Amino acid sequence: MRVLYLYGFSLFLCACNQQEPSTEEPQGQRILFYPRANVYRDEERNRWYRYDSAAGSWEQAKQLPEAEARRLDRAVLIAQPQVPVYRDNGQHKLVYGTSRYAAPDDLKRKRYEDSLAEVPPPPVQKPEAAPAPAEEPRRKTKVGRWLQKVFGKKKND
């Protein structure tokens, strides 16, 4: 029984290690990434790689559609791209997508805003209340005055 399990496991490993032959043409080493349009340009092969949301997969094209061509902005050269380059698209969007927002003036403004946020706000001065009028001593009742007369006198010895 163990022999069957080992044999099945070894067949499984062999099947996993087999590589399917690639039908795509090879990718060049000079790849530009356009973060705003989320497309790649293979400069050596003159190819565009774009994500087709309808099909849910990446496709190659010799030309971009007009709408995407208008959205192109600054490009970033991808250093040591993997094959295929769009395998790391999430990482590329994260790293290079934010660089288009980072201008030196933006950085200065952000530092200034952060420094102002660290300063505590000035204390609010509460208006001082007018002093309360002095209360007149309350007049004792008749019983209180009688008790004062009876028990309140002190004897001087």
pTM for this prediction: 0.49
Say yes or no to pLDDT of 28 above 60: yes
Binned at pLDDT 50, 70 and 90, residue 123 comes out as: confident
Q: What is the mean pLDDT of residues 138-151?
A: 86
Strand partners, 34: 39
**pLDDT confidence of residue 103:** 66
| Residues 63 and 48 sit within 8 Å (Cβ to Cβ) | yes
- Looking at every residue in the chain, the average pLDDT score rounds to 78
Domain ranges of the chain: 27-116
Q: Give the C-alpha separation, 46 to 51, whole Å.
A: 17
* Of 14, 88, 28, residue with least CA distance to 60: 28
Mean pLDDT, rounded, for 22-44 = 82
- How far apart, in whole angstroms, are the C-alpha atoms of residue 61 and residue 86? 14
Does 13 score more than 70 pLDDT?
A: no
Residue among 105, 41, 107, 42 nearest 73 (CA):
41
Confidence tier at 7 by pLDDT (50, 70, 90): low
Q: Is 72 within 8 Å of 37 (Cβ atoms)?
A: yes
* Tokens, residue 153: 């006198």
Q: If you count them, how many residues does the chain have?
A: 157
Provide the token pair at 12: 């499984």
